[in-house]
Amino acid sequence: MQITSCIQRFGETSLSHLATTALRGSADPEALSHALRWVGRLRDDETFHGRLPRLTRTPEAPSEIVRDGAGLGLVEFGSPAALPVIKAAIVREPNRSLETI
């Protein structure tokens, strides 16, 4: 997948751009949602510690579609370090149907 290659090649720079794009709402929400899910699914120990902190703000995105993908991506990390971010996102989420992430 291209997102995986991009993260492995460009590391934290690509993650920063992805997170900034999500927060600005300046790209297709569906594409961003899927990209954020893949970031969480990526099984790469070398990029793990860079991926999690870069994506901790993405559940604040203006698009509920992007917030949904961000939440699912954080769950996919499978790390206890993601739990506080997930819990805070649930509390803040205005769309009650997204609370069940």
User: For the segment 74-101, what is each residue's pLDDT rounded down to a tens digit?
Assistant: 999 888 989 999 999 888 888 877 655 4
Q: What is the pLDDT of residue 28?
A: 94
> Whole-prediction pTM value?
0.82
Query: Hunting for tokens 């992805």 — which residue is that?
Result: 18
User: For the segment 28-81, what is each residue's pLDDT rounded down to a tens digit?
Assistant: 999 999 999 988 888 878 888 888 888 888 999 999 999 999 999 999 988 898
Give the C-alpha distances (Å, rounded to integers) separating 77 from 5, 18, 23, 43, 74.
18, 17, 20, 9, 5
